[in-house]
Chain A
Amino acid sequence: GAVVSQHPSWVICKSGTSVKIECRSLDFQATTMFWYRQFPKQSLMLMATSNEGSKATYEQGVEKDKFLINHASLTLSTLTVTSAHPEDSSFYICSAREFGTAGNQPQHFGDGTRLSIL
């Protein structure tokens, strides 16, 4: 089946640093990738949608200057949390959808990145 690889799986860093998370579709091309955030005991919340070669679309309330998304190829999207602070600590999950225009296309998810800001 389709595999989405996310790296790193765990990051601990000091407040004020920037952190980059990579999301790769390993065996399929993904024109669209998605970034979610999940706080403890809560459900996944969509942060942004990225399309290869164009600017990402951010959900309401998500700061685009804080969470930089780059989708430079059909198999790679990156999320950079700039000047991270403790309130940015969360579980970040990416997903990708195989190329297609039908609703009959599952999204495949990475295993997530647990970000802890000290």
Chain B
Amino acid sequence: DAKTTQPPSMDCAEGRAANLPCNHSTISGNEYVYWYRQIHSQGPQYIIHGLKNNETNEMASLIITEDRKSSTLILPHATLRDTAVYYCIAFNYGQNFVFGPGTRLSVLP
């Protein structure tokens, strides 16, 4: 399983875009990049995933570099309810989802 590394914590002002980076330099060609978040005392919530192309949904955008060695999750207009731990996971079928320590995002009023 590819190892991902994320900054332990980040702050973001309410209403601004939150850009959360993730490094996955050893990712293999068929491993997807998944993002989840965990709000205190809840189970992880699926946000978005992608393989090569950039992806966007109602929650966020995922930007994957051309060499696939890193990605950025973008929350376009962060709110206080986006305060959570965000996990970046590299995954392919047959593997297990391995959760690292993630990034603790604090959205500040």
Contacts and interface: CB of A to CB of B under 8 A. Distances in A.
Contacts of A93: 43-44
Contact of B99 (A43, A106, A114): A43
Nearest to B85: A43
A109 B45 contact: yes
A25 interface: no
A36 B32 CA distance: 21
B41 A46 contact: no
Interface string B42-58: 11111001010000000
A45 B99 CA distance: 7
Interface in A12-27: none
A110 B31 CA distance: 24
Contacts of A95: 43-44, 97
A111 B42 contact: yes
9 contacts: A34-B96, A43-B87, A43-B99, A95-B43, A95-B44, A102-B93, A103-B31, A105-B93, A112-B41
